[in-house]
Amino acid sequence: MRQLRRNRAAMLALGVIVLIVTACLLAPFYAHVIAHENPFASNITGTIRLNGKTVNVLQANTQGLGYGVTPIGPTWHFSNYFLGADDQGRDVFARLLYGGRSSLYIGASSAVICVAVAAIAGVAAGYFGGAVDWIVSRIFDIIWAFPVYLLAISLSVILETNGINFLFIHIEQGSLTIPILIIASVFIPYVGRPLRGIVLSLKEREFIQAAIGSGASDFHILRKEILPNVAPTIIVFFPLMVAFNMLTESALSFLGIGVQAPQASWGTIINDGLGLLYTRPLVGIMPGLMIVLTAGALNVLGDGFRDAFDPKAKLRGSI
């Protein structure tokens, strides 16, 4: 921990993350100050007061043949439409904040699920070996061999059309849970395989052998011997997975099969922005920058974690 605190880059990254997270999470409390409109309601025929003048949020083209309608650009007034409007006349800045909520929420919770499941499966496979190992490894193989985006997309296409109604599980189409589950499941092997490997090598080590020899219960060994040794890896994996999942979420949403309207995420906002790339590029660029910033910070933090928790890094001295 101390080591981590000493890592200036990691601390900076942590700062950035905390800032973004709080900014997004608190959005409901102050966003209305920025955007007078509800950032989820279209405001196509609306108007705003801008330094004294009343202007349309969506402005019909006046030059040439006069085809096309363009949303208002950045006003750089925090009072409203700081970053301008999207094609629905919604405040982009406010949507960035709300979108961040979903993006972070999906990224984090899918990472939790993914890492948790992967850890259990991977450790079990590595520790118990035999049939357990065979089955788990095969499942890993299959998910692994299923082209990631193809798997994610096919799942999304299906689930977004009719939601999940499996036994007692019932998830509404358009619920955030769907992308979360999809993303989580797709990346399980990426975490599970290395963990399995670590456990396998651990099992060869004397102290485990000793523990097994001394007839300690599996549970005891897993908890007291294995867990402490895989924990660092898991910790290191976590922020990276969050970043990874956020990127995937944005990719899916960008393809129109991640987060569904009226929900918004940075990915969907990029998607909205594409339609305005030539007239109002900021709409598409800003959420991208947010993703880069957040994912980047998470990666730096992950490096920090690795340096701090990965024993390997400690053992290696200067000689």
Write out the binding residues for another protein, residues 168-187 only, by CB under 8 A.
172-174
Residue nearer to another protein on the CB measure, 54 or 161: 161
The closest of 19, 1, 3 to 297, measured between CA atoms, is: 19
- Binding of another protein by 236 (CB under 8 A): no
Stretch touching another protein by CB under 8 A, among 111-119, 203-211, 225-233, 245-253? 245-253
DSSP string of the chain, one letter each residue: -HHHHH-HHHHHHHHHHHHHHHHHHTHHHHHHHH-SS-TTS--TT-EEEETTEEEESEEE--STT---EEE------TTS-TT-B-TT--BHHHHHHHHHHHHHHHHHHHHHHHHHHHHHHHHHHHHH-HHHHHHHHHHHHHHHHS-HHHHHHHHHHHHHHH-EEETTEEE-TT-THHHHHHHHHHHHHHHHHHHHHHHHHHHHSHHHHHHHHTT--HHHHIIIIIHHHHHHHHHHHHHHHHHHHHHHHHHHHHTTSSS-TTS--HHHHHHHHHTTTTT-HHHHHHHHHHHHHHHHHHHHHHHHHHHHH-HHHHH----
Residue nearer to another protein on the CB measure, 129 or 256: 256
- Binding of another protein by 105 (CB under 8 A): no
Size of the site for another protein (CB under 8 A): 79
The neighbour count for residue 51, using CB atoms within 10 Å, is 7
Shortest Cβ distance from residue 142 to another protein (Å)? 5
Residue of the chain from 5, 30, 61, 212 that contacts another protein (CB under 8 A): 61
- Binding of another protein by 204 (CB under 8 A): no
Residue of the chain from 12, 25, 40, 116 that contacts another protein (CB under 8 A): 40
Stretch touching another protein by CB under 8 A, among 117-125, 142-150, 204-212, 231-239? 142-150
Residue of the chain from 7, 75, 109, 250 that contacts another protein (CB under 8 A): 250
Residue of the chain from 45, 51, 54, 214 that contacts another protein (CB under 8 A): 45
Residue nearer to another protein on the CB measure, 180 or 251: 251
Q: Which of residues 69-98 bind another protein (CB under 8 A)?
A: 69-70, 87-88
- Binding of another protein by 42 (CB under 8 A): yes
- Binding of another protein by 219 (CB under 8 A): no
Residue of the chain from 63, 131, 206, 214 that contacts another protein (CB under 8 A): 63
Residue of the chain from 75, 80, 185, 260 that contacts another protein (CB under 8 A): 260
- Binding of another protein by 144 (CB under 8 A): yes
